Every structure is written in C-alpha cells, then in structure tokens.
Amino acid sequence: MKYVSLDLGSVTCGIAKSDTGFLASPVKTIRFKPDDYDEAIDRIEEYLAEEKPDVIVMGYPLLENDDEGPRAQLSKEVAKVIERETGIPVFLQDERYTTKDSEEFLIGANVSRKKRKKVIDQQAAVRILEYYLNNQRNGKRL
C-alpha cells in the first residue's frame, strides 16, 4: 500500500510518503498564496495524480483541550474535497507537536536554520504519517 501525508499550513503544504507502510520519507513542500486553499488543493491533486497513493493522511491540528478549532475545521473541509475529487480515502491524524518534534529532530541532526525552514513542513508530514502508521499497527484510531 502507498501512503501520502499532508501537513497543510496557511502558505505551505508539506508532503511525505511511504511505499511500505513502515517508513515515511519527506517528498516536497508545496507553496501557495496565503490562505488560497483552492490553489493548494489543485497543487496537491496534481501531485496525487502522479503518485497514485492508496491512502492519504492529513494532519488534524486539534487544540490542546482536544477541541476542533478553525484550523482543524479547515483541514477537515480540505480533506473532504480531496477525497471527493480524487476518490482516495483521506484519514485525519492528530498533528499536535509534529512541528515541534520535527524542529528538535532537525536541530539534533545539525541542519542549519536556513535549511530547516525549507524542510520543516516535509518533516512534520513525515511525523504525521509515522503517527498514523504506528496507530494502525497498534489498532488505535484518532
């Protein structure tokens, strides 16, 4: 099974993938005009048409108290559009702490600040996919 994960922000979308269901690797960062999610969806769908994954995992930025804030609602809406337009199932995965974890990982790997800024969204997408795959192996759902 092929998996793709998305870390959707307000101007970027980090993408990671797994062809094995065990290891996730960073792919690319899509940039789009601030809050232009129509453009973001178009660019994401172009990538998905090339990659042809079986499953898409989208980061779901819940609030600390587990409530769904505006960003989580937006992610849910974008996920529905992508699923409807591609026919590929989209699963939401709690993404709290993925950017922080990714930043710490990159710092630990001695990645320069300039380079970290370019790859942080991809690394967060890796974490999102890893969390999802681990939860699937352990029988857990969001």
pTM of the model: 0.87
> Is residue 26 in some structural domain?
yes
Could you tell me the residue range of the domain that residue 92 belongs to? 3-137
Residue 76 lies in a domain: yes
The answer to whether the Cα torsion of 135, 40, 82, 70 is positive or negative is positive
Establish if 118 belongs to a structural domain: yes
> Given its phi and psi angles, is residue 78 left (phi above 0), alpha (psi -120 to 50 degrees) or beta?
alpha
Residue 81 within a domain? yes
pLDDT digits over 106-131, tens only? 667 766 766 656 666 888 899 999 99
User: What pLDDT does 138 receive?
Assistant: 79
111 backbone dihedrals φ, ψ, rounded to 5°: -80, 130
Q: Is residue 79 part of a domain?
A: yes
Total number of domains constituting the chain: 1
Give the CATH number, domain containing residue 97.
3.30.420.140
- The answer to the question of residue 142 being in a domain is no
